Amino acid sequence: MTPHKPSTTTLLGTIPADARQRRYFPAILVVTAEFIAYLMCVAGAVILPWWWLKGVCVLAATVLVGFLYVIAHDAGHGSFVPGRRANRWVARLAFFPTFTPLAAWVRAHVLLHHNFLRVRGRDMVWIPWTAEEYRNASVWRRGWYRLLRTPIGLTFYWTVGNWIPYLLFPPREGIGTRHRQNWFDRFLVIGFAVAMFSGLFALTQAAEGWSWADPVGPLGVVLLGMVLPYLGFTYQIALVDLVHHMHPQAICFLSRDDWDYYTATVESTTHVVLPFGLNRFMHNILEHTAHHVDPRIPLYNLPRVQDILEAAYPTDISVERLTPGYLLRILRTCRLYDYDRRQWLDYDGTPTTPARRPEGNPTVASS
């Protein structure tokens, strides 16, 4: 750990000003091409012959939905292209396949996740229970908590834990002045879903007369064209959120008073590396330390800034290769948390990592 943590001004000062510059080209070209490819894949899923070919189209659509979400995420931060209004409409368009209303996402992700990163009760991304909470919970709630922290359970994390309570039905008091904007974005998402179903169903009706086609019925349109690509995306986003923010060295905070910018963004946000240079293929979302240090950096500049930060603070940034073994290590290690001692625990309360604070001193961090 860095003995004397740099100030926010010092940390941001390590990033060149031109790394925050946004541009329209090729950003607009990329989002347009990926959205068209997504539409072609879901169209193929509902009319192409052979179920294996339909499955390939669904899988490709799932990957493209994830790519579009990353672009929407960047645009939602106002970082993808120049101009606030342009970013908003890019975000809305790219969020459509995940049925995400922009205003609710801004509240949940920008205002809560970023401003209260790893703060218990404010951030909603993989915040752990204490051992006492786990002991006092019902058998059903303990079982659900444990299920989510398994390779199979990841698929339920996004829909049940994030999409429904934070994006689809956010609390009215949490939306505040964005209430009307949230309803507008909701109607846009509903309109997209209706248009998608109508368009795909009309395509299957037309394909009835094509000798090579094997169109599905209305239920197949919903399942192959809309539901399965969404569910595939939910697994992706749950996995990415997990590996970004759950790490044996990551620190969680009991309150905002206990929080500091450097510990949250640098020491507790992981840079995950994929094999074969696939990080760029994923629109650089895995260069996540750089994104949390400064969300104004466009996704196409994140690798450069990540390299700068890792050169400046090499001992504080966790860099991990994403493998099945690493995923299982996180799920075994990061289960419950002692917020006073800053220490990960197993379900029985046994420590799985060293304490980051001396016992009995909740205000002084160990170095």
Q: How confident is the model at residue 365 (pLDDT cuts 50, 70, 90)?
A: very low
Torsion of the alpha carbons at 263, 306, 242 and 280, rounded to the nearest 10? 170
Spans of all domains in the chain: 23-334
Tell me how far apart the alpha carbons of residues 344 and 247 are, in angstroms, rounded to a whole number: 9
- According to the model, what pLDDT value does residue 28 have? 96
pTM of the model: 0.94
Q: What is the mean pLDDT of the chain?
A: 94
CA-closest candidate to residue 68, choices 282, 241, 322: 282
Alpha helices in the chain (DSSP H): 8-13, 27-47, 51-76, 84-95, 102-105, 131-136, 139-148, 154-158, 172-175, 179-207, 218-222, 228-245, 261-262, 278-281, 288-293, 302-312, 324-333
Q: What is residue 1's predicted lDDT score, i.e. its pLDDT?
A: 55
HEC-encoded secondary structure of 341-363:
CCEEECCCCCECCCCCCCCCCCC
Average pLDDT over residues 58-78: 98
Q: What is the mean pLDDT of residues 120-134?
A: 96
Helix (H, G, I), strand (E, B) or coil at 86: helix
Alpha-carbon span 121 to 34, nearest angstrom? 36
Contact by Cβ (8 Å): 306, 300: no
Q: Residue 361: what pLDDT?
A: 55
Confidence of residue 179 (pLDDT cuts 50, 70, 90): confident
pLDDT value of position 2: 56
**pLDDT band at residue 288 using 50, 70 and 90 as cut-offs:** very high
**Buried b vs exposed e over 247-283: b needs ≥16 C-beta within 10 Å?**
beebbbbbeeebbebbbbbbbbbbbbeeeeeebeebb
Stretch 166-180: mean pLDDT, rounded? 80
Q: What is the mean pLDDT of residues 347-366?
A: 75
CB 15 within 8 A of CB 308: yes
Structure confidence at residue 33 (pLDDT): 98
d(CA 42, CA 220): 11
Task: Report residue 277's pLDDT band, with 50, 70 and 90 as the boundaries.
Answer: confident
Beta bridge partners of 273: 321
Instruction: Check pLDDT > 80 for residue 174.
Output: no
pLDDT at residue 3 tops 70: no
Q: Kindly tell me if the per-residue pLDDT of 260 is higher than 60.
A: yes
Cα 356 to Cα 367: distance, rounded to the nearest angstrom: 8
